[in-house]
């Protein structure tokens, strides 16, 4: 058994516990180089330490064991990259979820549960806007908004138009679908512009709207929606169009999310 290490010593070398080494043996991920028939004791070669290190690193990166098996047996570098990219996308989705949770916690700090959301009614005139309608998973919304607003401001400059107010996002559809969100970032304009590529020029229709102000990170704005919906029910109104969030003070004006101010506007009848 020259050049072979007993499982305990191999555990010290690889920083993998004996329990995990036995588990990986049972799964077929890392089989011992030799198993003593009499004692059942496992022995590993030093050459296996590199493979054990790869397994340990992949597990620290939260790669599932079945995918580790696929990675270790991948026929070429391209196959390895494809599997790593798949796991990277999964981690990015998880990070986006944690960011939403953090934003919600920050929202509770800025506007604790029970914070009042006064809802008021006003009549709005028709408002020319330039917008881009988008669909996609909610975690990808931030990227979509960034590209859309960059295109919108560029289109305004090309048409010699100036914004007539802060940016907004309309939320279409009968429900909030995280997997296929239908939303429309836009800018109010001083006059009706011209369509530009996938940007459309149109008018927000005139009419009454219910509105309230949300202070703090965007993650807590759900309570503003609840307040407006409750107000509509109590005052005999119903929705007459998609709600929109108007970003009075946002990321471009304040570094601290507690200073964000977002007006929720909902057309009613």
Beta bridge partners of 129: 188, 202
Quote the pLDDT of residue 109.
66
Q: What string of H, E and C letters represents the secondary structure of 149-200? A: HHHHHHHHHHCCCCECCCCEEEECCCCCCCCCEEEEEEEEECCCCCCECCEE
Longest Cα separation, the chain: 89
Of the candidates 194, 197, 203, the one whose C-alpha atom is nearest the C-alpha of residue 160 is 194
Look up the pTM and report it.
0.62
Instruction: List beta partners, residue 211.
Output: 120, 265
What is the predicted pLDDT for the residue at 171? 96
DSSP three-state, residue 136: strand
Q: How many CB atoms lie within 10 A of CB 82?
A: 12
What does each of the 269 residues of the chain score in pLDDT, given as a tens digit? Answer: 667 999 998 999 888 899 999 999 998 899 999 998 888 899 999 889 989 988 988 988 888 888 888 888 888 888 888 889 888 888 888 887 777 677 767 666 665 555 689 999 999 999 999 999 999 998 888 889 999 999 999 999 999 999 999 999 999 988 888 889 999 999 999 999 999 999 999 999 999 999 999 998 887 888 899 999 999 999 999 999 999 999 999 988 888 888 899 999 999 99
SS3 58: helix
137/179 Cα distance (integer angstroms): 4
Are the C-beta atoms of residues 107 and 220 closer than 8 Å to each other? yes
Q: Which domains occur in the chain, in start order? A: 4-73 (1.10.1660.10), 120-267 (3.20.80.10)
Give the pLDDT confidence score for residue 237 in this predicted structure: 96
Q: How far apart are CA 168 and CA 129, in angstroms?
A: 10
């Amino acid at each position: 058994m020259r050049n072979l290490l007993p499982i305990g010593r191999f555990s010290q070398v690889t920083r993998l516990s004996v329990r995990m080494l036995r588990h990986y043996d049972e799964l077929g991920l890392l089989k011992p180089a030799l198993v003593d028939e009499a004692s059942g004791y496992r022995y590993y070669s030093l050459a296996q330490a590199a493979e054990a290190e790869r397994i340990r690193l992949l597990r620290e990166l939260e790669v599932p064991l079945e995918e580790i098996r696929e990675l270790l047996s991948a026929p070429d570098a391209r196959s390895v990259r494809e599997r790593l990219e798949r796991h990277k996308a999964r981690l990015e989705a998880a990070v986006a979820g944690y960011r939403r949770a953090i934003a919600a916690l920050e929202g509770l700090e800025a506007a604790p549960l029970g914070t009042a959301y006064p809802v008021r009614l006003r009549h709005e005139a028709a408002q020319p806007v330039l917008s881009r309608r988008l669909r996609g998973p909610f975690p990808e919304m931030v990227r979509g908004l960034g590209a859309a607003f960059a295109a919108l401001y560029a289109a305004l400059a090309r048409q010699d138009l100036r914004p007539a107010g802060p940016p907004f996002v309309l939320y279409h559809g009968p429900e909030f679908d995280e997997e296929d969100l239908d939303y429309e970032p836009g800018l109010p304009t001083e006059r009706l512009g011209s369509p530009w590529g996938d940007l459309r020029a149109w008018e927000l229709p005139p009419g009454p709207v219910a509105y309230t102000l949300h202070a703090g990170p965007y993650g807590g704005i759900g309570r503003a929606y609840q307040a407006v919906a409750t107000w509509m029910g109590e005052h005999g109104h119903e929705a007459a169009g998609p709600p929109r969030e108007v970003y009075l003070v946002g990321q471009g004006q304040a570094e601290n999310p507690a200073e964000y101010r977002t007006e929720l506007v909902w057309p009613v009848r």
